[in-house]
């Protein structure tokens, strides 16, 4: 039986743009009779380290590294061996906090109604028992600015980076162990979270920051009565930490094959998550019920293709999520991060499948996979709303990304039509950023370079830019109408043509 909008092309050909966004069933899916069942949020996501890899003091002096990733970056900049590929150029790094108005202005200009960014554990707690209130004030300014643009923030509490005092290094500053395996980690994480929550709940401190940003008293009162943020992503991708840092050894502390260590790390991450959830929930005591803090985790789930895909899904996707969820009452929502398909080697009868990706710079891009992953997540946790808190596509030329993006939106709409409780969609990312071991140059996920934020939004005369495809998606989600869906369909057709022509050219 053919599914809603299903592609039926030959496996040797790229998928034809045969999906019709203007179909009545698409409009009915995006504009449901029950308002509370619609996709409420659409926006972009980032992390502080990635959007500001180095920081400077008030005099413009480079601050010393305080985290594992900052230490690796410093070694790279000094020409030493590090876990970061290629020599990096500090002059090309983005600087989120000094340019936060440009970031948030552009987000709002696109029509996004959610903006996700992160705090940085190591930067807020650079030394044992120390909390940087001045930096926290900058984060509060960013939260207030998001709210002032009519958007809802999603605040990530932990996005990979760990303080140096939780690490062990050799004489050459090579990280040998530590991070989440440090037996003191939960104590330090508690200190961090307690101080963040204490600051957010301190009316005098928050009001002082708001006043410094020219918020008048009525605006201050509104933000204080509603809370600066409703949605919190407590921990970003725990499975990535386990696999990258303690099994594959591609992330600090570069441990390989430490399954027993990974088990202990998972226990400490769960303990720290519980601390985070309990502390954040205390902010709700002074807020109306509709603004009560909602806490979840961003889980990276992949689409496994092959005869052992069920087993791979159980251990690669569900195992860690189950450990955090336990009785099902440990989160208010589930965050899904979907990037790629993994074709299990030597056992898959159709090794090529549909050629969406053509060797992209980050994984095997496979838009249909998000539908299957969403269905599996919903089947495992049927009472949880799902935020698609990251989808993303790395494409230096920005020729394939528009089609990948719109084809993924197609399958998200299919999932919504099937009744899956999708609360929001967040794109990684608004601006090109520092992609961990790949650095700045090997994976361009952003809709823009930071420099482009100062330039007006002008549609491309030669093809489709990814920001145009994303903006048309935003319009369709936030204001579904025959007109917005016709615009989306137009971009879909143009994006496919561009994708196909690019594919033909690189195959010559």
Shared domain check, 465 and 338: yes
Residue 470: CA count within 13 A, CB half-sphere: 30
List of E strands, 373-421: 385-392
Of all residues in the chain, the percent with pLDDT exceeding 70 is 92
Closest CA to 413 of 15, 23, 12: 23
Closest CA to 398 of 342, 470, 303, 493: 470
Does 43 fall in a domain? no
Does 97 fall in a domain? no
Q: What is the pLDDT of residue 413?
A: 98
Does the structure show a pLDDT above 80 at 195? Answer: yes
Does 50 fall in a domain? no
**Residue range 369-393: mean pLDDT, rounded:** 96
Q: What is the pLDDT of residue 350?
A: 46
Give 47-75 as a 3 state SS string.
CHHHHCCCCECCCCCECCCCEHHHHHHHH
CA distance 426 to 43: 5
Q: Which residues have CB under 8 Å from 111's CB, separation 6+?
A: 471, 474, 475, 478
Task: Give the confidence band of 303 by pLDDT, cuts at 50, 70, 90.
Answer: confident
Higher-scoring residue by pLDDT: 187, 362: 187
Task: Give the confidence band of 344 by pLDDT, cuts at 50, 70, 90.
Answer: low
Does 228 fall in a domain? yes
Shared domain check, 391 and 313: yes
Shared domain check, 313 and 280: no
Q: Which residues have CB under 8 Å from 445's CB, separation 6+?
A: 362, 392, 393, 394, 428, 429, 432, 433, 435
**Residue range 339-360: mean pLDDT, rounded:** 58
Q: What is the pLDDT of residue 261?
A: 94
Shared domain check, 489 and 376: yes
Shared domain check, 62 and 26: no
Q: What is the pLDDT of residue 58?
A: 93
Does 48 fall in a domain? no
pLDDT in tens, 92-131: 999 999 999 999 999 999 999 999 999 999 999 999 999 9
CA distance 87 to 79: 7
Q: Judging by beta carbons within 10 Å of its beta carbon (0-12, 13-18, 19+), is residue 482 exposed, middle or buried?
A: exposed
Asked whether 4 and 420 are in contact (CB, 8 A), the reply is: no
Q: What is the pLDDT of residue 353?
A: 45
Tally of structural domains, the chain? 2
CA distance 108 to 318: 35
Query: Which region among 45-49, 102-106, 363-367, 448-452 has the lowest average model confidence (pLDDT)?
Result: 363-367
Task: Give the confidence band of 4 by pLDDT, cuts at 50, 70, 90.
Answer: very low
Asked whether 238 and 153 are in contact (CB, 8 A), the reply is: no
Does the structure show a pLDDT above 50 at 5? Answer: no
Shared domain check, 360 and 258: no
Does 103 fall in a domain? no
Shared domain check, 250 and 263: yes
Q: What is the pLDDT of residue 314?
A: 78
Q: What is the pLDDT of residue 16?
A: 66
Shared domain check, 263 and 319: no
Shared domain check, 429 and 291: no
Asked whether 39 and 471 are in contact (CB, 8 A), the reply is: no
Higher-scoring residue by pLDDT: 354, 439: 439
Closest CA to 296 of 283, 277, 310: 277
Task: Give the confidence band of 347 by pLDDT, cuts at 50, 70, 90.
Answer: very low
Residue 408, phi then psi, degrees to nearest 5: -65, -40
**Residue range 56-63: mean pLDDT, rounded:** 96
Which tokens in the block code for residue 445?
Answer: 């996920």
Q: What is the pLDDT of residue 379?
A: 96
Domain finish residue from 268, 296, 324: 296
Domain finish residue from 240, 266, 296: 296
Shared domain check, 322 and 259: no
Domain finish residue from 296, 325, 341: 296
Shared domain check, 72 and 6: no
Does 241 fall in a domain? yes
Q: What is the pLDDT of residue 364?
A: 87
Shared domain check, 305 and 223: no
**Residue range 168-197: mean pLDDT, rounded:** 97
Residue-range definition of the domain harbouring residue 84:
55-92+119-296
pLDDT in tens, 220-278: 999 999 999 999 999 999 999 999 999 999 999 999 988 899 999 999 999 999 999 99
Does 99 fall in a domain? no
Q: What is the pLDDT of residue 221?
A: 99
Closest CA to 80 of 176, 165, 174: 174
Q: What is the pLDDT of residue 10?
A: 42
Task: Give the confidence band of 77 by pLDDT, cuts at 50, 70, 90.
Answer: very high
């Amino acid at each position: 039986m053919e599914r809603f909008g299903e592609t039926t092309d030959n496996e040797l050909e790229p998928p034809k743009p045969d999906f019709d966004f203007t179909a009545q069933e698409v409009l009915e899916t995006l504009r449901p009779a029950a308002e509370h069942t619609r996709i409420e949020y659409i926006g972009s996501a980032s992390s502080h380290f990635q959007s500001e890899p180095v920081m400077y003091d008030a005099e413009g002096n480079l601050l010393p590294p305080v985290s594992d990733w900052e230490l690796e970056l410093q070694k790279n900049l000094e020409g030493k061996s590090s876990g970061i590929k290629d020599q990096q150029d500090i002059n090309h790094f983005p600087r989120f906090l000094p340019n936060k108005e440009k970031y948030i202005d552009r987000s709002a200009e696109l029509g996004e109604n959610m903006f996700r960014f992160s705090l940085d554990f190591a930067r807020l707690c650079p030394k044992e028992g120390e909390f940087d209130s001045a930096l926290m004030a900058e984060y509060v300014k960013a939260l207030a600015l998001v709210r002032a643009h009519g958007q809802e923030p999603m605040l990530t509490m932990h996005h990979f980076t760990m303080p140096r005092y939780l690490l062990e290094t050799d004489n050459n500053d090579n990280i040998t162990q530590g991070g989440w395996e440090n037996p003191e980690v939960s104590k330090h994480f508690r200190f961090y979270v307690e101080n963040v929550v204490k600051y957010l709940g301190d009316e005098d401190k928050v009001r002082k920051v708001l006043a410094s940003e020219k918020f008048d008293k009525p605006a201050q009162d509104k933000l204080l009565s509603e809370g600066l943020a409703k949605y919190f992503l407590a921990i970003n991708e725990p499975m990535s930490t386990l696999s990258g840092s303690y099994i594959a050894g591609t992330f600090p502390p570069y441990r390989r094959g430490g399954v027993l260590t990974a088990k202990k790390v998972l226990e400490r991450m769960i303990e720290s998550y519980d601390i985070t959830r309990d502390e954040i929930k205390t902010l709700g005591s002074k807020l109306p019920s509709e603004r009560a803090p909602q806490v979840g985790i961003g889980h990276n789930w992949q689409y496994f293709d092959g005869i052992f895909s069920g087993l791979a899904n159980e251990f690669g996707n569900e195992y860690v999520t189950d450990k955090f969820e336990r009785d099902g009452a440990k989160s208010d929502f589930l965050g899904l991060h979907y990037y790629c398909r993994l074709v299990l080697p030597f056992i898959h009868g159709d090794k090529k499948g549909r050629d969406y990706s053509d060797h992209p710079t980050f994984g095997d891009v496979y838009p249909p996979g998000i539908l299957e992953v969403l269905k599996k997540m919903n089947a495992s946790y049927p009472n949880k709303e799902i935020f698609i808190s990251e989808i993303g596509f790395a494409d230096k030329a920005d020729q394939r990304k528009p089609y990948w993006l719109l084809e993924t939106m197609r399958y998200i709409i299919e999932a919504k039509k099937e009744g899956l409780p999708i609360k929001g969609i967040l794109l990684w990312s608004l601006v090109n950023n520092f992609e961990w071991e790949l650095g700045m140059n090997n994976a361009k996920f952003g809709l823009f370079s930071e420099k482009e934020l100062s330039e007006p939004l002008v549609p491309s005369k030669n093809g489709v830019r990814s920001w145009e495809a994303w903006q048309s998606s935003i319009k369709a989600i936030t204001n579904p109408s025959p007109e917005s869906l016709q615009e989306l369909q137009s971009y879909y057709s143009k994006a496919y043509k561009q994708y196909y022509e690019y594919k033909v050219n690189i195959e010559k």
